[in-house]
C-alpha cells in the first residue's frame, strides 16, 4: 500500500494505491495538477479506481470533475455534498474499497456540512476538519464550530492514539502528525471545552478569501463556463431561507408557492425524488429560461435543489432578475427526505 502526497504544497492531495490490484484512489485532487496526477498514475501503472473530495472546497478549484471524466472513474462525496457531479454518496460508517484497501468513512462536519474523514487502519485523512496543530475555519459555506468540536473530539480523537493524521492543508511545512499528538498539543482544541472552542473560533475574524465565490460556486454546482454569472456573497446572504416544515405548510395552503427545482434531470427523477408539482429548470439553464417564469412573477417561488446550495444561487439569480418573492428550501431534498415529507420519483 502506498500513500504519497502529490502536490508538495500547502494544499494536499493524497494517493492511496493497492499494490496487488494496481487500483488507486485520489483524495482532494486540485484542478491545476490534473496532468501531474495522470502522469504519476501512468508512470506507476496504476488505475484510478475512485476520487474522493473530503468536502466542497472554497479555496481552490477541485480537479475531481475533469479528472473523473478523463479517467472515467467515480467521484465519491458525502450525501450532503451540493454538487450534482457525484457518482456515489457516502454516509458515516460506509466503507470505500480500493483493491485490498478498505477506508472507513467518518462523517466529520463542522468545517463544512459535507466534510468526511477517511480512516484506513494506521492513518486517517482528515480533510480540513482537523489540521496539524490547527483546525479548518468554520465560518463559511455552512461551517459550524460546535459541530467541528464534536467531530474532532468524539470521532477523530476516538481513534487509536498512534493513528497517523494526514490533513488536506498544512501551512507550516508539517507532513504528518498523530491523533495522540493532536489530542495533547493542538492549540485550538487541547484543554478547551466546546463553549471555549466556539468562542475562540468566533474571535478569529479571518478575512474572507478574495475570490471565494468564484471558486466555491463552480465547486458547488459543477458549472464552469463563461455564460453563468454567479451572484456575489451579499446577494446570496439576502436569500430568505425556509425550513422543510415551512415549505410543507405552504404547499398545503390555499395559495401554494411555485416550487422551482434547479437540479439536473437525473437527480429530479433519482434517489431523492422531487416534490409533487415542482417545475424543473436546471441551474445551468436558469438565466436563459427565466422568461418561462414570467407568468409567476407575482407568485411566491421556492427554489429547491439537493442540499440547498445551488437553489440559494438560483434564488439570488431570480431576485437579480426582478422576482421579488423568492425563497429557498434550506438543506434541500436531502433534508426533505430525512424528515419524511412526500416525494415523487
Interface positions with Fe ion (CB under 5 A): 128
Is-contact 121 3, C-beta < 8 A? Answer: no
Least distance to Fe ion from the beta carbon of 298, Å? 41
- In the bound state with Fe ion, the residue whose beta carbon lies nearer, of 28 and 264, is 28
- In the bound state with Fe ion, the residue whose beta carbon lies nearer, of 128 and 331, is 128
**Considering just the CA atoms, what is the radius of gyration of the chain in Å?**
21
The H or E element that residue 317 is part of is helix 310-320
- In the bound state with Fe ion, the residue whose beta carbon lies nearer, of 215 and 247, is 215
Rounded Cα distance between 19 and 22, Å, is: 5
- In the bound state with Fe ion, the residue whose beta carbon lies nearer, of 128 and 182, is 128
Q: Please, what is the angle between helix 212-221 and helix 310-320, to 10°?
A: 120
The 3-class secondary structure across 201-264, one letter per residue, is HHHCCCCCCCCHHHHHHHHHHCCCCCCCCCCCHHHHHCCEEECHHHHHHHHCCCCCCEEEECCC
Is residue 173 left, alpha or beta, with left meaning phi > 0 and alpha meaning psi from -120 to 50? left
- In the bound state with Fe ion, the residue whose beta carbon lies nearer, of 112 and 313, is 112
Q: Which residue is nearest to Fe ion (CB)?
A: 128
Least distance to Fe ion from the beta carbon of 115, Å? 8
Least distance to Fe ion from the beta carbon of 118, Å? 15
Least distance to Fe ion from the beta carbon of 90, Å? 18
Least distance to Fe ion from the beta carbon of 102, Å? 25
Amino acid at each position: 500500500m502506498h500513500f504519497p502526497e502529490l502536490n508538495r504544497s500547502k494544499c494536499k492531495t493524497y494517493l492511496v494505491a493497492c499494490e496487488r490490484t494496481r487500483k488507486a484512489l485520489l483524495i482532494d485532487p486540485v484542478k491545476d495538477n490534473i496532468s501531474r496526477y495522470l502522469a504519476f498514475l501512468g508512470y506507476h501503472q496504476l488505475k484510478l479506481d475512485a476520487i474522493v473530495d473530503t468536502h466542497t472546497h472554497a479555496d481552490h478549484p477541485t480537479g475531481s470533475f475533469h479528472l473523473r471524466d478523463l479517467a472515467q472513474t467515480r467521484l465519491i462525496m458525502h450525501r450532503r455534498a451540493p454538487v450534482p457531479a457525484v457518482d456515489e454518496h457516502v454516509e458515516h460508517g460506509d466503507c470505500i474499497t480500493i483493491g485490498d484497501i478498505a477506508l472507513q468513512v467518518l462523517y466529520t462536519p463542522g468545517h463544512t456540512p459535507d466534510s468526511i474523514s477517511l480512516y484506513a487502519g494506521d492513518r486517517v485523512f482528515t480533510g480540513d476538519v482537523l489540521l496539524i496543530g490547527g483546525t479548518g475555519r468554520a465560518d463559511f459555506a455552512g461551517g459550524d464550530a460546535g459541530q467541528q468540536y464534536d467531530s474532532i473530539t468524539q470521532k477523530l480523537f476516538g481513534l487509536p492514539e498512534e493513528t497517523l493524521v494526514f490533513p488536506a492543508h498544512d501551512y507550516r511545512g508539517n507532513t504528518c502528525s498523530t491523533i495522540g499528538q493532536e489530542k495533547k498539543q493542538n492549540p485550538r482544541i487541547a484543554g478547551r471545552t466546546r463553549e471555549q472552542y466556539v468562542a475562540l473560533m468566533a474571535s478569529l475574524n479571518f478575512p474572507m478569501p478574495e475570490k471565494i465565490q468564484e471558486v466555491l460556486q463552480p465547486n458547488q454546482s459543477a458549472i464552469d463556463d463563461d455564460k453563468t454569472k454567479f451572484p456575489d456573497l451579499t446577494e446570496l446572504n439576502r436569500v430568505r431561507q425556509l425550513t422543510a416544515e415551512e415549505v410543507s405548510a405552504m404547499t398545503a395552503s390555499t395559495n401554494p408557492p411555485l416550487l422551482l427545482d434547479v437540479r439536473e434531470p437525473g437527480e429530479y427523477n433519482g434517489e431523492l425524488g422531487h416534490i409533487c408539482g415542482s417545475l424543473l429548470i436546471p441551474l445551468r439553464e436558469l438565466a436563459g429560461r427565466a422568461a418561462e417564469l414570467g407568468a409567476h412573477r407575482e407568485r411566491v417561488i421556492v427554489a429547491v435543489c439537493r442540499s440547498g446550495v445551488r437553489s440559494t444561487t438560483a434564488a439570488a439569480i431570480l431576485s437579480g432578475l426582478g422576482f421579488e418573492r423568492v425563497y429557498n428550501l434550506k438543506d434541500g431534498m436531502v433534508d426533505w427526505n430525512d424528515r419524511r415529507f412526500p416525494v415523487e420519483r
